[in-house]
């Protein structure tokens, strides 16, 4: 998705300086995107350390391929896409070295559709990071990034049905983990309902 935007002079100057590999500009771009992008990386990783590795690896790509960025489109979206791609690469590497323990889905602990709203971002992130990588990747790509199952299947090199299945399992497991890890909130939400 490309958004046509009017770039500020400052942003243009920043990009040009980054293209000249000027360190101050690189630092400024890094700082300005750091929070959001690390948040993205956190969702695709199992811990903060991994997320930081992904972030730095992705920023190296950002600086290297910044010349390919089309002025007039959203820089933020472009960087975010690189983050996601790098995270997916990371996921692929992880899958190579790890036997994923795909657990059976527990019985759906709660049909409360407003379950998420009662938890903080950190709590949600914590449970997302506990998901098996294949569930986590599908859930992030589908639920957060808005990719279609076909696209996810292409990106992760799986079938569409696997993508659907993993998504269902990811959701169930998230709900189950949220209920188990934070039972009080889960109960209070049920009561409210």
Residues within window 92-151 making contact with another protein, judged by CB under 8 A: 111, 113-117, 119, 121, 124-125, 128, 139, 142-144, 146
Locus of tokens 């089309």:
70
The residue (of 98 and 148) whose beta carbon lies closer to another protein is 148
How many residues bind another protein (CB under 8 A)? The answer is 48
Compute the distance between CA of residue 33 and CA of residue 66 in angstroms, rounded to an integer: 14
25 lies in the site for another protein, by CB under 8 A:
yes
Who contacts 113 (Cβ-Cβ below 8 Å, separation ≥6)? none
Residues facing residue 71 across a β-bridge: 73
User: H helices within 75-159, ranges in order?
Assistant: 75-96, 121-130, 133-139, 149-156
What residues from 28 to 67 belong to the interface with another protein (CB under 8 A)? 28, 30-31, 34-36, 38-39, 42-43, 52, 55-56, 59-60, 63-64
CA count, 13 A, side-chain hemisphere, 155: 23
CB nearer to another protein: pick between 117 and 184: 117
- If the CB atoms of residues 58 and 153 are measured against another protein, the closer one turns out to be 58
Listed ranges 96-104, 129-137, 168-176, 185-193: which one lies at the site for another protein (CB under 8 A): 168-176
Tell me the closest approach of the beta carbon of residue 96 to another protein, in angstroms.
23
Token code pair at residue 64:
């290297």
| C-alpha to C-alpha distances, 87 to 94, 121, 155, 167, 190, nearest whole angstrom | 10, 20, 11, 18, 35
Alpha-carbon gap, residue 133 to 31, rounded angstroms: 28
Where do contacts with another protein occur on this chain (CB under 8 A)?
10, 13-14, 17, 20-28, 30-31, 34-36, 38-39, 42-43, 52, 55-56, 59-60, 63-64, 111, 113-117, 119, 121, 124-125, 128, 139, 142-144, 146, 171, 174-175
């Amino acid at each position: 998705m490309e958004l046509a935007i009017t770039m500020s002079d400052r942003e243009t100057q920043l990009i040009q300086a980054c293209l000249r590999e000027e360190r101050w500009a690189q630092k400024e771009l890094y700082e300005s995107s750091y929070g959001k992008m690390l948040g993205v990386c956190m969702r695709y990783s199992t811990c903060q350390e991994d997320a930081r590795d992904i972030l730095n690896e992705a920023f190296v790509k950002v600086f290297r391929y910044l010349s390919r960025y089309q002025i007039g489109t959203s820089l933020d979206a472009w960087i975010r896409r690189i983050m996601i791609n790098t995270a997916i690469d990371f996921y692929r590497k992880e899958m190579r070295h790890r036997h994923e323990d795909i657990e059976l889905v527990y019985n759906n602990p709660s049909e409360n559709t407003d379950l998420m709203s009662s938890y903080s971002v950190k709590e949600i992130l914590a449970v997302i990071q506990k998901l098996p990588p294949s569930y986590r990747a599908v859930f992030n790509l589908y639920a957060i990034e808005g990719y279609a199952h076909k696209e996810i299947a292409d990106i992760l090199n799986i079938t569409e049905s696997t993508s659907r299945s993993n998504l269902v399992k990811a959701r169930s497991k998230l709900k189950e983990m949220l209920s188990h890890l934070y039972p009080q909130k889960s109960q209070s939400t049920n009561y409210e309902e």
